[in-house]
Amino acid sequence: MSYQVLARKWRPKTFSQLVGQDHVVQALSNALTQQRLHHAYLFTGTRGVGKTTLSRILAKSLNCVTGITAEPCGQCEACLAIDIGRYVDYIEMDAASNRGIADMISLLEQAIYAPSSGRFKVYMIDEVHMLTKEAFNAMLKTLEEPPAHIKFILATTDPQKVPVTILSRCLQFNLRQMASSTITSHLQAVLTEEHIPYQPAALQLIARAASGSMRDALSLTDQAIAYGNQSVQETDVRSMLGAIDQSYLFELVQALVANDASTLINIAETMEARSIGFAAALNDLAALLHQLAITQYQPDVIADDHPDRDTLLQLSSQMQADTLQLYYQICILGHRDIGLAPDEYAGFTMTLLRMLAFRPDAMTPVGGSTAGGHRTETPASQQQVTASRAPTASASVAHVPITASINANDATPQALPEAFLHPAPQVTAEAVESGALATNADTHFMQQAPSLAPSTKKFDGNWRDLVENQLKLGLARALAQHCECIDYDEDHLTLRVSPTHKHLASHNYLEKLNSALNAHFGRRISLKLQVDEEANTPAKQQAVEKAELQDLATQAIMQDRFVQGLMQEMGATIVPNSIKPLH
């Protein structure tokens, strides 16, 4: 006897055997029990969730010799014939290959005849959204008022493509994707009946890979049985699916918690050596991060017998909720963009390093990490003051720090982004004695100045001209455009920015603006930034000038004799916002 695959062998024969669709089963069972039968049903849902199976069970319920019932006997001629697909009054039509108007007309011509042996003639049209517009139009009248002996069952994976005129004539049931726990428990029952040894972790992997489809899960189980030589083991399933070993994921998360970049790279190299798919690894890492996030809020969600329960609880307690959410988002985006990376290894490692770079407490520059990959954390008290030695005559310009400060007297703590706080160099006794410490009223960030070419350029106080015509700003242009220079001398500039645009004053943009000024003037420029509502910035000046030009252009159009003639003689009107100045 030939082997029958599990997906066919274990296809449900009754409503009670159908799993994961209780809401549909209850509605249909009640309707059959109360004899409240509709003439057209529409089942929607992704592949493998039970649309065709429900159609066959409903057909048996309507034609069973015991009468219209929610519990067909399964033994009569009608039930047996429907199960094997040979019942003359149950017609399954594939709309993907029979989608034209001619096919629909042929079906409707046969529908007018009474059933040969059953109580109802049932037409099941699968993938009904594939029908042409003409075919849909041909079936509209019959679908709305069919003969008493006709029942239509439509099934589709894409209900959005079904015309609303069809939807309004049907009872619609949306079949849900199966939960992983539902698939796992069903696979356990099937393998127990089949006397196939299995590991629960292996079935969980299959359930996750099935993506809510019971048919896919049973097909993967068939493949796993063949792969594992009549057993379903976790290691075999991981190898078959290309899934990453869970231990790698835990090691990755531990390294993220420890902020250890070198360990992350080493794990990635090990995974590459073992030919583990990095796209699948990011997907599994996102699933683990999701599980950790759920665990933080509801630890009871992890079963007591879960093999990794202690590890999950430990990791979830070590991570902040906002950091965990950030890691999850970066992981999702990394999985989406991994195809754009030079290779999967580069995309995977850059995603991991991005998690470290953007974690909320990652305020140390690249050079501030230790040999082990750990960042050096600086206390807040040291972040509020900076010290530097006064340069000697022989000191190289490249070693003189450039400072930019935010005046704390002019802004509340809420007005200043935390990115202004930047680790300071070690405060030495010599720096204290030289009086080089900054006051506590200012918050400083430091950058190492590059070697500067000597220049005799002077600043005349025209900040707008400097920004628009002289500086090479790049990404810092937005910040410079929304600043106003309120004080300056040869080596210092004091700028102010409005609270509306203070978000532009990130550490990165401040560094770029400072570097552009240093390069332009050929000397160290110390920046001081204040937050003030009265900032008269280049951007504000441009907006005022643009509004004035717009007013002039509008006046010119309204005063033009030709335009006035059109408006008076022909009733013409000027379209709002259509007037644009030429300059």
Structure tokens at 384: 């509020």
Rounded CA-CA distance 13/310 in Å is 42
Residues 312 and 185 in one domain: no
Helix, strand, or coil (residue 308): coil
146-160, 369-383, 428-442: which range is least confident on average?
Answer: 428-442
Residues 250 and 226 in one domain: no
- What's the predicted TM-score (pTM) here? 0.54
pLDDT at 373 over 90: no
**If 0-12 CB within 10 Å is exposed, 13-18 middle and 19+ buried, where does residue 559 land?**
exposed
Rounded CA-CA distance 17/57 in Å is 10
- Characterize the bridge pairing of strands 401-407 and 442-448: antiparallel
Number of H helices, E strands in the chain: 24, 10
Instruction: Single out the residue in 241, 259, 294 at which a domain terminates.
Output: 241
Residues 186 and 78 in one domain: no
Rounded CA-CA distance 159/162 in Å is 5
Structural domain that includes position 475? 380-388+397-536
Residues 35 and 161 in one domain: yes
Q: What pLDDT sits at residue 361? A: 64
Residues recorded for the chain: 583
How is the beta sheet containing 171-174 ordered, strand by strand? 90-94, 121-126, 150-156, 40-44, 171-174
pLDDT at 192 over 90: yes
| CATH code where residue 349 lies | 1.20.272.10
Phi, psi of 472, deg, nearest 5: -100, 95
Helix (H) or strand (E) holding 465: helix 463-465
Q: Which of 215-219, 383-387, 412-416 has the highest mean pLDDT?
A: 215-219
Using alpha carbons, select from 387, 404, 389 the residue that is nearest to residue 526. 404
Query: Which position has the higher pLDDT, 498 or 405?
Result: 498
68-77, 300-309, 332-341, 410-419: which range is least confident on average?
Answer: 410-419
Helix, strand, or coil (residue 529): strand
Phi, psi of 77, deg, nearest 5: -60, -40
Structure tokens at 520: 């332009």
Residues 276 and 325 in one domain: yes
Residues 27 and 109 in one domain: yes
> Residues 542, 543, 545, 546: what is their CA dihedral angle, to the nearest 10 degrees?
110
pLDDT at 424 over 70: no
Rounded CA-CA distance 482/504 in Å is 9
Residues 92 and 150 in one domain: yes
| CATH code where residue 225 lies | 1.10.8.60
Flag whether 49 is in a domain.
Answer: yes
Phi, psi of 319, deg, nearest 5: -115, 140
Q: End-to-end distance of the chain based on CA atoms, in angstroms?
A: 86
Rounded CA-CA distance 52/194 in Å is 24
What does pLDDT average to over the chain? 79
What radius of gyration, in Å, describes the C-alpha atoms of the chain?
36
Q: Are 295 and 312 in contact (CB under 8 A)?
A: yes
Q: Calculate mean pLDDT across residues 39-55.
A: 92
Phi, psi of 505, deg, nearest 5: -85, 50
Structure tokens at 558: 């309204």
List of residues 6+ apart from 430 with CB closer than 8 A: 389
Residues 237 and 252 in one domain: no
Rounded CA-CA distance 40/123 in Å is 9
Q: Calculate mean pLDDT across residues 500-523.
A: 83
Query: Which position has the higher pLDDT, 227 or 432?
Result: 227
DSSP conformation class of 379: -
Query: Which position has the higher pLDDT, 490 or 167?
Result: 167
pLDDT at 337 over 80: yes
Q: How many domains does the chain have?
A: 5
List of residues 6+ apart from 61 with CB closer than 8 A: 15, 28, 32, 68, 69, 70, 71, 72
Number of Cβ within 10 Å of residue 392's Cβ equals: 7
Residues 404 and 519 in one domain: yes
Q: Are 521 and 527 in contact (CB under 8 A)?
A: no
- Characterize the bridge pairing of strands 171-174 and 40-44: parallel
Residues 126 and 204 in one domain: no
Residues 60 and 157 in one domain: yes
Q: Calculate mean pLDDT across residues 77-84.
A: 91
Using alpha carbons, select from 454, 444, 462, 452 the residue that is nearest to residue 526. 444
Flag whether 530 is in a domain.
Answer: yes
